[in-house]
Amino acid sequence: MTQPDSEGQILIGPASYGKSEVRLVKVARTTPRHEIHDLNVSIALEGDFVAAYERGENAGLLATDTMRNVVYALAKEHPLDSVESFALALARHYLASSPSVTRATVRIVAYPWSRIEVGGVGHDHAFVRGAGERTASVSASEEQAQVEAGLDKLLILKTTESGWEGYHFDKYTTLPETNDRILATILTASWTYEPREAIDFNAVWEGARARILAAFTDHYSPSVQNTLYRMGKAVLETYPEVRRIRFSLPNKHHLRYNLEPFGLANDNEIFHVSSEPFGLIEGTVERRP
């Protein structure tokens, strides 16, 4: 049986608790042309929770069930005009609702739905799920709030203007060099905003997404690393509101399949898509201090 720590030498370190993956759908019905917001919200609270962890005293804890209820109640009143503004509203509520909370972090994933087109016109209340989830994260204390936004699960590919040459060879290297390959990745990007007021989160998110995709296309890519830098540079040059941007780019390998055993030539037309193992290229592009 474990003996109690009578000298108080064992303490609870940094800790948080919260509610994860609160699924929220809001349908705006103010006009016959409906709008739909589909969100996944996760909350983590930090603060003075020593009594709860070490002595089992729960008086300073907000129930995670309450955290969930707050998401739905605030969504009723909030226009959900941007996921960043909703995350800020939630974080500020949790800070105000419990005196033991010193920091609230709210992460939101927004699932993209677009209108089904009928006769070239978007339907009033029928939607199809799109690609590339919008993300937002707010970490707020009484003194300040840090806002991040991003993009996840966006599969992008170009069939040429990509290569991999001039890399270091050692005795175990077997991969041949190439100046013409498929470049494909499932893009994740997150950027941190400068601490300023009156940021148009929707405009910057849409614009950053467009700049990332444009930069993916506008050059011969000697490496995923170089393309990562170019995409980040394009966002930072366009939006002074953004302090830094981080990318995670798994290399979704498309390997030219050997058709010679069948007496057929393969002029970069037939590929085997390999899911494992895969290269993973990650990096942050930021402004010089």
pLDDT tens string 88-117: 999 999 999 988 999 999 999 999 999 999
Catalytic residues: 19, 64, 253
Distance CA 191, CA 135 (A): 10
Q: Report all structural domains of the chain as residue ranges with CATH numbers, in order of start.
A: 17-141 (3.10.270.10), 144-289 (3.10.270.10)
Which two tokens mark 38? 């589909």
pLDDT of 64 above 70: yes
Which residue, 128, 129, 127, is CA-closest to 111?
129
**Average pLDDT score, the chain:** 94
Across the chain, which distance is largest between two alpha carbons, in Å?
Answer: 80
Query: Where does the pLDDT of residue 7 fall: very low under 50, low under 70, confident under 90, or very high at 90 and above?
Result: low
Cis peptide bond prior to 277, omega within 30° of 0: yes
CB neighbour burial string for 271-282, b if at least 16 within 10 angstroms, e if fewer: beeeeeeeeebe
Contact 55, 13 (CB under 8 A): no
Model confidence pLDDT, tens digit, residues 231-251: 999 999 999 999 999 999 999
Q: Is 71 helix (H, G, I), strand (E, B) or coil?
A: helix
Model confidence pLDDT, tens digit, residues 42-53: 999 999 988 888
Query: Where does the pLDDT of residue 135 fall: very low under 50, low under 70, confident under 90, or very high at 90 and above?
Result: very high
Residue 40's beta-bridge partner residues?
23, 109
Q: Is the pTM of this model over 0.85?
A: yes
CA-angle at 63, arms to 57 and 67, nearest 5°: 150
For the four alpha carbons of 278, 249, 183 and 135, in that order, the dihedral sign comes to positive
Contact 83, 134 (CB under 8 A): yes
Query: Where does the pLDDT of residue 198 fall: very low under 50, low under 70, confident under 90, or very high at 90 and above?
Result: confident
Distance CA 66, CA 43 (A): 11
